[in-house]
Amino acid sequence: MASKWIIVKSKIKEITGQYNVSADFTEALNEKVKQIIKDAVKRAEANNRKTVMGRDI
């Protein structure tokens, strides 16, 4: 993928509120999201679609 970051770090902080967020959490979450997207694309392709949908997650 072109961009290193898929997620927005400040949005994680909004959700976690008073809890601190370590750099390794942010990096791990970002990698997980990338993998979810790649898997969803594969599922869409397997179903002969060029549109990735919620059901592909």
pTM of the complete model: 0.83
pLDDT of residue 30: 96
pLDDT tens figures, 18-32: 999 999 999 999 999
- What is the pLDDT at residue 48? 98
Long-range CB pairs of 29-37, under 8 A, 24+ apart, other chains included: 30/4, 30/5, 30/6, 33/6, 33/7, 34/1, 34/6, 37/1, 37/6
The pLDDT tens digits of the residues spanning 2-54 come to: 468 999 999 999 999 999 999 999 999 999 999 999 999 999 999 999 999 99
Domain boundaries, the chain: 9-56
